Structure 1
Amino acid sequence: MNVQSFNPNPCFLIGLNSSGNLAFRRHHRMQMLQRLLPVLLGMLGAQRLADVSRDLELLYWPVLGHSRSPCFFEVPAFLGSAMPDQPMEPALVVERLMAEPCPPLPVDVAPAARNLERLRKHLDLSLAQSLRLLCAYLNYGGAAWPCFELPVPALHALLAAWWGVDLAAVEVALDERLTLLGLLDRHEPCDANTDLKSLLGIWPATVQALSLSHATDAELFAALELSV
C-alpha cells in the first residue's frame, strides 16, 4: 500500500485543501463559473434564475460581500429567532461574480492539475470529457455550481455552450466511459428534468487520488485502480 495515500479517516480527504490544490480549485471555479453565468442568463426564466441566484449567494457569499452565509428562511424560535435575509437581485449577483478577478494559480503546478493532465493524455480524453471531470472535481461536496433542473435536451445544450463544444461532444462526454473507469458516479439517464449536479457526481476515492502527488503515472493509476 502506498503510505502517502493511506487515510485513517476516510471522511477527510488528504491533500484536497493543500495550498496548491486550494489555489487551483479557486482559480478554476471562478473561471468556469464566469463561463457558466452568461449561459444561465440566456437559458433560465426569471423565477428559476432567482432560485439560482440565491444558491450562488450561499456558495459565494464572501465574494459577494456578505460577512456571513445568508439565511433566507425563518429561524425557529428555539434556535434564536431572526429575520430572514433578503436575497440580492439576480442581476447584481451576476454582475459582481462576473467582475470578480480569478484567484491566481499556484506558483508550482498543483497535484490535481498534474493528475488531471495525466488522465487526459493517457486516456485520450476529449475536451468535453476533460471538462466534465474537472467540473466534477471542482464541485466535490457541492461547493461550486448552483442547483437547477432542465429538460435533458436543454441541459445538454447548456453544457455545450458552457464547455464550448458541440452537442455530439457532450453526448460522448456523458456516456458511461468515465463511470465504467470508476472515476465518476453513475448517472441514470431519464426523459424528465435532470439536475446539473447529477451529471457531475464524483467518488471521494477519485478526489482523494487526484489530490495527492504521485511520482509516476503508474502510481496514479494504481491509486485510481485503473488498469491502463
Structure 2
Amino acid sequence: MSDTYSILREADCRIDLDRAAEIMGPHLGLAKADTVQVLHDRPGVLAKMVPYDAARDMAKALILDGMPCRVVHDDHLVRIPSPPREAVRGMEFSDEQLVFRSVEWEGYLRWDNIRLLDIVQDVAEKVEFVTIEESDGESHSHRTERKSRFDVSVFLEIVCSDPVLRMRIDRNQFRYKSTGLKMHTNREMNFRALCIAIHMRSPDALIGPGFAWLSKGNNTHHQNGNTLKKFENFATWLLTVEA
C-alpha cells in the first residue's frame, strides 16, 4: 500500500483557480501558471500522491480560503476502469433496464444503477508529409511540407457505481436503429437523441461537463475541452466522495 494522499474538493466547492494555484503551487513544486493549468485539468481530484503533511497543509489553507475539500488516502480512491476495449454497438430499452451489446458480449443494466453520464472527446493529430513541386520557369525544385489534421472521436461515457462499471458508446460506430428510437436524418441528431433518452430514463444520474455542453445545444463533434483525463478525474472524484 502506498502512503500518499489525494485532495478532493467537496461537492459544494467552487475552485478559484488563481487562489488555489497560489496555495498549492509551492507544495507541488510548480509555478503558479503551471499549477493553474494542472488544476484546470482536475475538476474533482485536485492533487494525488502527495505526502500527508503537504496534503494536510494544502487542504487546511484551501478550506480557510473558502474552498472546502478533504484529504483521502490514495488507496481509498475509487478508480474507474480503463476504457473498455470494445464500445457498445447496440442497445434495447425496457422500463427497468437497458440491454447492451458489443461485438463480443451482451449484458443488461438497471437504469437506477447509472451514476454518471458524460460526453468525452479524443482528439488525435494526424501528420503527413507532402512533396510540393516548385518552378521559377527555368528550374524545378521540390520541398517537403508538414500537414496536420485532427480527428475527433466522440464517446458517451456511462459510469455505474454498484458495481463500478464503465461503458462507452462511440458516436460513429453505434447502431442507432437497435434502440427502437425514432431515427433522424444525420448521425449527430441520432447521437443526441440517444444521450437524451438514456438520461431521461436515469434521472438520478449526474451529468459531467461534456454532457452539459450537449444539453446546451452544442454540436458534439465541436471541441468541448472535456478530455479523457478530465473525465476520469471527475468520475474518480464522484465515486470516491459518494462511497
Structure with the larger helix share: 1
Q: How would you bin the TM-score normalised by the shorter chain?
A: under 0.3
Higher strand share: 2
Query: Structure 2 length normalisation: TM-score?
Result: 0.24
Query: TM-score when scaled to structure 1?
Result: 0.25
The structure with more radius of gyration: 2
Q: Larger relative contact order (C-alpha < 8 A, sep ≥ 6)?
A: 1
